[in-house]
Amino acid sequence: MNKDIATPVRTKAILDKYGFSFKKSLGQNFLIDTNILKRIVDHAELTETSGAIEIGPGIGALTEQLARRSAKVLAFEIDQRLLPILEDTLSPYENKKIINSDILKADVHKAIAEEFAGLDDIMVVANLPYYVTTPIIMKLLEDKLPIRGIVCMLQKEVADRIAAKPGTKDYGSLSIAIQYYTVAETVMIVPKTVFMPQPNVDSAVIRLIKRAAPAVTVKNEEFFFFVTRASFAQRRKTLLNNLTSQLPNGKEKKEQIISALEQVEIDPGRRGETLSIEEFGKLSDALYPHFVGQL
């Protein structure tokens, strides 16, 4: 068995060998605890016929664990300085491919078709750079990739918001956007002490398993998301106040907004965080005829 990359001593030796310095702008925090990495991979439930997509492999600590447990790993790394390091640290593993690209700009569909031919179970498993966590997760879901789900490490505060239930302070438009596509749960809390350098925040691992169909069926997806964002524009305001101030010509259309709320039996005095995703679906469908073509 090859020596694990994710130990403090080995990580430091690799960084020293290449004179690597961390770039704050890329949110680089490398994991130095093998047990935590193994548990992250456990939550992805990979088999020898699974493909794994990783984002931001760093020096290959998680990549190595994924390569040992899956048919193939495809990792997207934006920092060119890490390519020679990955070539070295991952040299024992034939079943990996590193693409030097920003995941937000990459054609992931094409990469999956080329690299995972014949594999029908694909999971994204990543320690995401915290400054772009949400855009990355949304891209992976909105691009409708042929993946089973995502297991990723992110800021604990963001994980709380993603997995939040209605009626809680963390529940918001992000919870709804991600739970529309997936079943979300926080599976691990990770202390800041297991990273080099240590981040300022605690981290969590969240597991998102894609739904066979979205959580609700709506007339217009884009409008549904617009309504949910509008409903949380100012958390202390009522649904009616937020919708009239956020929807196009909302003030002039106040009567139509009230009538749509009545139609679906939602009290205009409620706040956004009290509505379930199903209620938002009904509300957005009731409002939609009054706002068609105005977004």
* CATH number of the domain encompassing residue 152: 3.40.50.150
CB-hemisphere CA count at 13 Å for 126? 27
Query: Is residue 82, in this structure, part of any structural domain at all?
Result: yes
Residue 1 belongs to some domain of the structure: no
Find out whether 38 and 1 touch, Cβ atoms under 8 Å: no
User: Could you tell me the residue range of the domain that residue 93 belongs to?
Assistant: 8-210
DSSP class of residue 273 equals G
Greatest pairwise CA separation for the chain in angstroms? 69
Q: Is 56 annotated as a binding residue?
A: yes
Query: Domain boundary at 188, 210, 232, which?
Result: 210
237, part of any domain: yes
Tally the domains of the chain.
Answer: 2
Which residue's structure tokens are 């199903």?
A: 278
- 222 belongs to an annotated ligand binding site: no
Q: Are residues 206 and 227 in the same domain?
A: no
Residues 6 or more apart in contact with residue 194 via CB below 8 angstroms: 31, 32, 33, 36
Which residue among 180, 210, 240 closes a domain? Answer: 210
The answer to the question of residue 170 being in a domain is yes
Asked whether residue 174 falls in the same domain as residue 144, the answer is yes
User: Does 249 show up as a binding residue in the annotation?
Assistant: no
Residue 2 lies in a domain: no
Query: Domain for residue 3, yes or no?
Result: no
CB–CB of 156/204 below 8 Å?
yes
Tokens 């990359």 -> residue: 5
29 is in an annotated binding site: yes
Residue 112 domain flag: yes
Digits of tens for pLDDT over the chain (295 positions)?
678 999 999 999 999 999 888 776 666 788 999 999 999 999 999 999 999 999 999 999 999 999 999 999 999 999 999 999 999 999 999 999 999 999 999 999 999 999 999 999 999 999 998 889 999 999 999 999 999 999 999 999 999 999 999 999 999 999 999 999 999 999 999 999 999 888 888 999 999 999 999 999 999 999 999 999 999 999 899 999 999 999 999 999 999 999 999 999 999 999 999 999 999 999 999 999 999 877 6
77 marked as binding residue: yes
Q: Which one, of 251, 255, 246, 257, lies nearest residue 288 by Cα? A: 257
Domain identity same for 206 and 131 = yes
Considering only CA atoms, which of 275, 216, 208 is closest in space to residue 240?
A: 275
Q: Provide the pLDDT for residue 294.
A: 74
Q: How far apart, in Å, do the first and last CA atoms of the chain sit? A: 57
Say yes or no: 32 and 167 in one domain: yes
In this structure, are 92 and 193 located in the same domain?
Answer: yes
Answer yes or no: do 134 and 51 share one domain.
yes
Same domain, 184 and 265: no
Q: Amino acid identity of 102?
A: D
Going by their DSSP bridges, the two strands 203-210 and 149-155 should be labelled as antiparallel
Q: Could you tell me if 163 and 276 lie in one domain? A: no
The reply to whether 116 and 262 lie within a common domain is no
pLDDT of amino acid 37: 96
Is the CB of residue 54 less than 8 Å from the CB of residue 62?
yes
- Look at residues 210, 243, 266 and tell me which one is the last residue of a structural domain: 210
Grouping H, G, I as helix, E, B as strand and the rest as coil, residue 203 is: strand
**Residues 149 and 169 reside in one and the same domain:** yes
Query: Are 197 and 255 in a shared domain?
Result: no
- Please tell me whether residues 26 and 108 are part of one structural domain: yes
* CATH number of the domain within which 281 lies: 1.10.8.100
Predicted local distance difference test score (pLDDT) of residue 199: 84
The answer to whether position 109 is within a domain reads: yes
